[in-house]
Amino acid sequence: MITAVLVGAGNRGKDAYGAWALKNKHRLKFVAVAEPLAARREAFAEAHGLPPERCYSSWEELFAAGRLADVCFVATQDRQHTAPALAALELGYHVLLEKPMAVTEEDCHMLVEASEKAGRQLRVAHVLRYTRFFQTIKKAVEEGLIGKIVNINHSENVSYWHFAHSYVRGNWRRADESSPIVLAKTCHDLDIIYWLIGTPAIKVSSFGGLYFYRPENAPPGAPKRCLDGCPHLESCQWAAPRIYLKAEPLLQIGTRSRYFYNRFLAGAALRTPWLLNMLGRLYPPLETLVNWDQWPVSTITDRPGSREAKLQALQEGPYGRCVFFCDNDVNDHQVVNMEFTGGVTATLTLHGFASSEGRWIRIEGTGGTLFGKLTTEHQEIIVYDHHQVQKKLLLDLDLDLRAHGGGDDGLMESLMASLEGGSSAPGEVEVLTSARASLESHLLAFAADISQRENRVVSMDEMRRSC
């Protein structure tokens, strides 16, 4: 049995890592938690059976108690990663650190060096590398199915409602409070591009900005909050009740499933919620569809199952604000161009306007082309071989509601396998997303941010020298 402590019992700490431990009680046990918000701390303690003396209101207090477990999960916000991760490594914990590992180049380097000096794993939660989707692409590339990679064209299409939730109304809306979106969101994608190409980048240029989610684009007469009598409440796609009370965009994903069962249930929840309420009395999980209490609703209130609590959150909290009247400043679209050692090129497009959320990737190789599409409702990978000019379907999956297309589970399986094996120091086991492996994607993100703000091409030598 592996033991763990948690720093930050918010969305990731509780719903990703805590939930995995509860589903895998024979493999992972949380023995302590550090969380300043009493309601979150107590809920985590109750779910995991923690005694009061093992519940702390900050990571400093937790670490003052010495090393209590094998591994420490650091799931605080972007700007609060470096200090607790360094302290945990110093105490001898293995660390699972949320991405981005840090918000400055200096801190990223410090973390890499500290983990290597401590001889402990510092694993970054770059969950995409652990998905079946990207594992399949990596294998296809390594097996030479498309020859040598010449160019990668990758898009991160964030849906309009997810973008509004996280980057307009929510926690990652301001670079000074979290980090620029090219780091906060696309460090995952930069990491995948670098992982597939396998050599360091040389040059980066980037363009982008905040195009749409600004006051001048508000429709006439819109108040500052959706529930303050907005005349557009019924027609606005970002209307807070539509997203958080009815969960319409999420249910619409179900209506795009290829299976009748999923389409029927999602359609019924949208059009005849009374029917699901009735069926929910016979089979309670169905009630969730008409009273959604999972992400993103679980982040707006600590009582997501209560309609009153949700309503209050929209009346008083940040998620009830009109998307055109928030204090957001992060880009809502950005492109990044990269050249890698050996001349391989890649482009990354990020935007917050997709009707259907997901990542698309197209890889041109000397011997073939690979197309990949990773959305919640469908995953598909096709390879066209130049010789045979025939299509080979490598992956074809319907609706996968698991977090990050199964990446969260994959990360946990990999972490546990390395710790259960007993020899878990870096170098002794393959740590797919070690701090060192993750450094390159972070440097790429910092370079893209500088390029976009300063309107110039950035040499990666400059990034490496700055540390």
- Give me the residue whose beta carbon is nearest to ligand NAD: 10
- Per CB under 6 A, the segment of 76-84, 143-151, 281-289, 346-354 that binds ligand NAD is 76-84
Is 289 one of the binding residues for ligand NAD (CB under 6 A)?
Answer: no
Q: How many CB atoms lie within 10 A of CB 271?
A: 10
- Tell me the per-residue interface mask from 83 to 112 with ligand NAD, x by CB under 6 A, - otherwise: ---------------xx-------------
* Residue 149 to residues 92, 146, 362, 383, Cα–Cα distance (Å): 40, 7, 11, 13
Is 78 one of the binding residues for ligand NAD (CB under 6 A)?
Answer: yes
Token pair for residue 185? 């969101």
Least Cβ distance, residue 381 to ligand NAD (angstroms): 21
Of 4, 9, 96, 276, the one binding ligand NAD by CB under 6 A = 9
Of 404, 426, 437, 439, the one binding ligand NAD by CB under 6 A = 404
Which DSSP helix (H) or strand (E) runs through 368? Answer: strand 368-375
Length in residues, the chain: 467
Of 5, 21, 76, 289, the one binding ligand NAD by CB under 6 A = 76
Is 357 one of the binding residues for ligand NAD (CB under 6 A)?
Answer: no
Is 127 one of the binding residues for ligand NAD (CB under 6 A)?
Answer: yes
Is 189 one of the binding residues for ligand NAD (CB under 6 A)?
Answer: no
Least Cβ distance, residue 31 to ligand NAD (angstroms): 16
**Cα gap 455→436, rounded to integer Å:** 29
- Per CB under 6 A, the segment of 3-11, 203-211, 223-231, 279-287 that binds ligand NAD is 3-11
* Three-class secondary structure assignment of 301-361: CCCCCCHHHHHHHHHHCHHHECCCCCCCCCCCEEEEEEEECCCCEEEEEEEEEECCCEEEE
Least Cβ distance, residue 328 to ligand NAD (angstroms): 16
Single-letter residue type at 369? T
Is 355 one of the binding residues for ligand NAD (CB under 6 A)?
Answer: no
Which DSSP helix (H) or strand (E) runs through 230? Answer: none
Q: Give the full edge-to-edge strand order of the sheet including 149-159.
A: 391-398, 378-385, 368-375, 358-365, 149-159, 345-354, 333-340, 201-209, 458-459
Residue 127 vs 197, nearer CB to ligand NAD: 127
* Residue 195 to residues 37, 189, 201, 396, 458, Cα–Cα distance (Å): 37, 10, 11, 23, 20
Is 63 one of the binding residues for ligand NAD (CB under 6 A)?
Answer: no
- Cα torsion angle, 339, 340, 345, 346, sign: negative
Of 10, 18, 180, 426, the one binding ligand NAD by CB under 6 A = 10
Task: Provide the 3-class DSSP secondary structure of residue 426.
Answer: strand
**Cα gap 184→101, rounded to integer Å:** 10
Task: Provide the 3-class DSSP secondary structure of residue 364.
Answer: strand
Is 185 one of the binding residues for ligand NAD (CB under 6 A)?
Answer: no
Is 154 one of the binding residues for ligand NAD (CB under 6 A)?
Answer: no
Residues 41-60 that bind ligand NAD (CB under 6 A): 58-59
Is 455 one of the binding residues for ligand NAD (CB under 6 A)?
Answer: no
Which DSSP helix (H) or strand (E) runs through 384? Answer: strand 378-385
- Per CB under 6 A, the segment of 8-16, 21-29, 226-234, 439-447 that binds ligand NAD is 8-16
Residue 48 vs 404, nearer CB to ligand NAD: 404
Token pair for residue 429? 């086991």
Is 156 one of the binding residues for ligand NAD (CB under 6 A)?
Answer: no
**Cα gap 298→305, rounded to integer Å:** 8
Least Cβ distance, residue 330 to ligand NAD (angstroms): 12
Least Cβ distance, residue 426 to ligand NAD (angstroms): 20
Residue 123 vs 333, nearer CB to ligand NAD: 123
Residues that bind ligand NAD (CB under 6 A): 7-13, 34-37, 40, 58-59, 75-78, 80, 98-99, 125, 127, 171, 184, 404
